Structure 1
Amino acid sequence: MRMVKEATVDKWNIFIVMFLISLMMRVQVPVFTPYATMLGASSMIIGVILSVTSFTNLTGNIVAGPMVDRFGKKRFIVIPLFASAVFFVAHGFAADSNDLLLLHGLNGFALAFLIPAALALLSGYAKNSRQQGKNMAIYGILSTISAIFAPLIGGQLVVLVGYENAYFLIGAAIFAIALYTLIFLNDRQPVVIKNETKKSKKTNQTIISPTILLVYLIGFAVMYIHGVIIFEIPYLTVEQGLSTVSTGLLFSYMGLGTLLSLSLMFINRFDPLKRLLFGLFGMSLTIYALILSVFTLPILLLIVGFFFGIVMPAMGAAITNYAGQETYGRAFGYMSAVYSLGMIASSFVTGAIRDIFSPYFVAFLVGMFVTVFVGYKKLQSSQPPQHNTRLI
């Protein structure tokens, strides 16, 4: 009984840490683009900064996975948090876009270790795939709550204290989170029993399988679409003279949509890959509706957030279905690397073409191509093999 109670407390400490990390990472979303513009960065330079950050994040993800599996999870949460706190404070002292490029890139590398380590730690607290899905859904809900309030906090911070002081406060908050993690988070793995079928056990012996590659491909497309939105919405602050509070509110609509879908817990009963396809298809259609201006921007962001909320828990559940427990660190590291790759591509392409071509249309093409390709591969694999017959 005592061990069960300790495991429950440990799990909720993980949830608290992941929530706080997610909150502070998103606080800076409406702050960075106008701050970079104020320091003289063009849309192309901002795209390069975000791409470089995603690249360093990708590099860190690849390095993080095997190290997390080998050396434990807690140290790869605590140390990056302290490093990130320093880098965020340093943002407030940046003199030009070159400084932002260096600091954002270093911060991206440090943060690359956090999510794979935290998800790998969380994944050990489930006895079966349904509990796994429930844990991922709870994490998704907490992350979404942070997505609703963080942009509002970030936008208001700029109004109250200015860009530089906003980064000082973000850095101080992350330092406090690192201290909490150091004191309260335990790096121990409970013994878990997975009731898997024989087929699943065989599949779980490897990280790289045809099905998990399809999952990663969907992850790339989802983050490409997400990256375009993350790039374009803050730019409204620059192009239309909106306040950071207004752009923060727009991101909150997206968070509300995500929270709505995550509250539909019955969705977790469906196959994760089918949920991924459904969510990506919905995001692709909604991004196309952004081009046509079928609905107002807040409504469309609400819808995008709804489908995004379907995808994210399904992604975690799919990874744990097709990767053995002993390789969770690497599997989630690769997942985060794929996410970073999607952000790299979207940030670079959007920054390069936004003055001559709609980034939303490119995102629509990427999403629909992956939806059709993965759907075809899934349909092909589910069909029974054809046998040649001869008529006599």
Structure 2
Amino acid sequence: MKKLRQAAVEKLPIFLIMFLISLIMSIESPVFTPFAAGFGATSILIGMMLSFGSMSDLVGNLMAGPLVDRFGKKLFIILPLFVSGGLFIAHGFVSNSRELFFLHGLNEFAMAFLIPAAFTLLSGYAKNRRQQGKNMAINGILTTIASILAPVIGGQLVVWIGYVNTYFFIGASMILTGLYGLSFLKERHFIVKEPRGGEQVSLMRVFTTPELKLIYLTGFAVMYIHGVIAYEIPYLTVEKGVSTLNTGQLFSFMGLGTFLALSLFFVNRFDPFKRFITGLTGMNISLFLLFGLSLSMPVMLFCVGFFFGLVMPAIATAITESVSSKYHGRAFGVMSAVYSLGIIISSFITGVIREMISPYFIAFVVGMFILTYVGYSKLNMTSVVRQKAS
């Protein structure tokens, strides 16, 4: 019992920091699009801004993995917090969409180093699949609570203090979080047992290792869908005059669904592959019901959020089982890069096609294509293993 308490206390700072990061970053969700539109940015330009930011994130993710494995996790958690805080404050001083374009990209690049480092540090607190899944689920619950509260807070902050002061608030909060991490966060040596593969992760191995390829493809599909939603909902403020408070509430419905899924700790007993296939299937069905039958947006967003909550911890757990703990930094770096790629492509395509065809339909097609490919490939892999065993 004493050891369990000690382990919980040791994990508290990283859980709290990831919660605060998610809370602060999500506050910007309903704010950025109307803020950019206020400088005359068109839907295509806003899509390019989001894509450029995600591209910067992708480049940073790929750089972060090897650096985290080599130099440790704490440095790449603390430093980005201070840099990002300063860049968020700088958002309040922009005078045109060009300055906002580059500031957004720089900020995403800085934050790209943080997420792989944080996940790598967190993965060192588990001894087996169940503990790994539980840690990822707890982190997911905390960040989901943040995603439920933050958009509403962000929308209300704009009403109370305006866009500029909201960015000042976000930046100051990032810097305070960095000061907390500097004081209380500690490095962690891995205690995870070596998994089956135990091999180094590189971009080449992503495309040559069947299991990793299926995991990352699923992650891409999920983030493509998420990227479309993250683009379309705030744009209701520009297109239909919906208040930032109401768009924040729509994000909160999605967060509530994710929270419910992550609260079901017993699902961590099931195979990660089955969990993320089920989740991706559910997200596709929810999208179809949203654009095809025009069912209630809050209800469908709740469903998307629920299945999203099934997928994300399962992907993280599957990666830790497929890769040696020595290379978790690279693994989570590639994972984050794939997520960024999904956001890049979805944001750009959505900005270009939204006047001609529903972005939700395209997201459904992308999701179903990848689901079919992943499911078929997994069946073939299982069949080959059975033939070799017999």
The residue correspondences of 1:129-144 to structure 2 (distance < 5 A) are 129-144=129-144
User: Does the 8 Å CA contact 2:125/2:192 hold for their aligned counterparts?
Assistant: no
Q: Does the 8 A contact of 2:59 with 2:109 survive in 1?
A: yes
Q: For 1:241 and 1:294, how far apart are their aligned partners in 2?
A: 20
What is residue 71 of structure 1 aligned with on the other side?
71
Describe the SS at the equivalent of 1:357.
Answer: coil
Paired residue for 1:390?
none
In structure 1, list runs of 5 or more residues that go unmatched: 388-392
The separation in 2 between residues aligned to 1:374 and 1:384, in whole angstroms, is: 15
* Displacement after TM superposition at 1:126 (Å): 0.6
3-state secondary structure, aligned to 1:29: coil
The aligned runs of 1:76-95 (5 Å cut-off) are 76-95=76-95
Tell me the distance in 2 between the aligned counterparts of 1:309 and 1:115.
18
The residue aligned with 1:237 is 237
Aligned to 1:315: 315
* Cα distance in structure 2, aligned partners of 1:384 and 1:70: 37
Distance change >3 Å, CA 306–CA 46, structure 1 → 2: same
Residue 31 of structure 2 aligns to a residue whose secondary structure is helix
Q: Give the match for residue 247 of structure 1.
A: 247
Residue number in structure 2 paired with 1:43 = 43
User: Which residue identity does 1:333 align to in structure 2?
Assistant: G
338-347 vs 315-324, greater mean Cα deviation: 315-324
Q: Name the structure 1 match of 2:31.
A: 31
Superposed CA RMSD: 1.5
The one-character-per-residue Cα deviations of 1:7-65 (angstroms, maximum 9, x if unpaired) are: 43221111000000010010000000001001110000000000000000000000000
Confirm or deny: 8 A CA contact 2:36 2:100 kept in the other structure: yes
1:295-306 equivalences in 2 (<5 Å):
295-306=295-306
Partner SS state of residue 319, structure 2: helix
Distance 1:386 1:247, change over 3 A: closer
**Alpha-carbon distance in 1 for matches of 2:55, 2:6:** 38
In the alignment, what sits opposite 1:339? 339
The more displaced of 264-273 and 336-345 is 264-273
Instruction: Please state whether the residue corresponding to 1:383 is helix, strand or coil.
Output: helix
CA contact (8 A) 2:53 2:109 kept: yes
**Deviations, residues 114-153 of structure 1 (Å, cap 9, x unaligned):** 1100000010111111110110010010011001000000
Distance in 2 separating the partners of 1:169 and 1:386: 57
Aligned residue number for residue 124 of structure 1: 124
2:199 match: 205
Amino acid at match of 1:204: G
CA distance in 1 between partners of 2:218 and 2:303 (Å): 18
* 2:176 is the alignment partner of 1:176: yes
Aligned partner letter, 1:358: S
Q: TM-score, with normalisation over the residues of structure 1?
A: 0.94
Shift of 1:108: 0.5
Quote how far apart the aligned CAs of 1:354 are.
0.5
In the alignment, the residues of structure 2 paired with residue 262 and residue 316 of structure 1 have an alpha-carbon distance, to the nearest angstrom, of: 13
Look up the SS of the partner of 2:125 in the other structure. Answer: coil
The one-letter amino acid of 1:365's match is V
> Which one-letter code corresponds to 1:281 in the other structure?
T
Is the CA contact (8 Å cut-off) linking 2:123 and 2:192 kept in structure 1?
no
Q: Structure 2 matches for 1:305-384, cutoff 5 A? A: 305-384=305-384
Q: Distance in 2 between matches of 1:301 and 1:375?
A: 25
**Alignment check: 8 A CA contact 2:78 2:181 kept:** yes
- Whichever residue aligns with residue 331 of structure 1, its letter is A
**1:4 Cα deviation from its structure 2 partner:** 6.6
Task: Indicate whether 1:109 and 2:109 are aligned.
Answer: yes
CA deviation vs aligned residue, 1:297-341 (integer Å, no higher than 9, x gap): 100100000000001111111111111100000000000000000
Structure 1 residues 274 and 2 mapped into 2: Cα distance closer, same or farther (>3 Å)?
A: closer
Output the amino acid matched with 1:15: F
Cα offset for 1:251?
A: 0.2
Once residues 221 and 316 of structure 2 are traced to their aligned partners in structure 1, the CA distance between those partners, rounded to angstroms, is 16
Deviations 1:180-237 (A, max 9, x none): 00000011325x252x6xxx43x12243321011100000010000000000000011
The CA deviation string for residues 241-276 of structure 1, in whole angstroms up to 9 with x for no partner, is 111000000000000000111111111111111111
In the alignment of these two chains, the number of paired residues is 381
Aligned residue number for residue 149 of structure 2: 149
CA distance in 2, matches of 1:80, 1:366: 33
Q: Give, in angstroms, the shift of residue 6 of structure 1.
A: 4.9
How far is 1:386 from its partner? 9.4
The alpha carbon displacement at 1:289 in A equals 1.4
Residues 341-350 or 266-275, more deviating: 266-275
**3-state secondary structure, aligned to 1:189:** coil
Question: Against the structure 1 CA distance between its residues 188 and 261, is the aligned structure 2 distance closer, same or farther, given a 3 Å change threshold?
Answer: closer
Secondary structure of the structure 2 residue equivalent to 1:247: helix
Q: How has the CA–CA distance of structure 1 residues 386 and 340 changed in structure 2, closer, same or farther, with 3 Å as cutoff?
A: closer
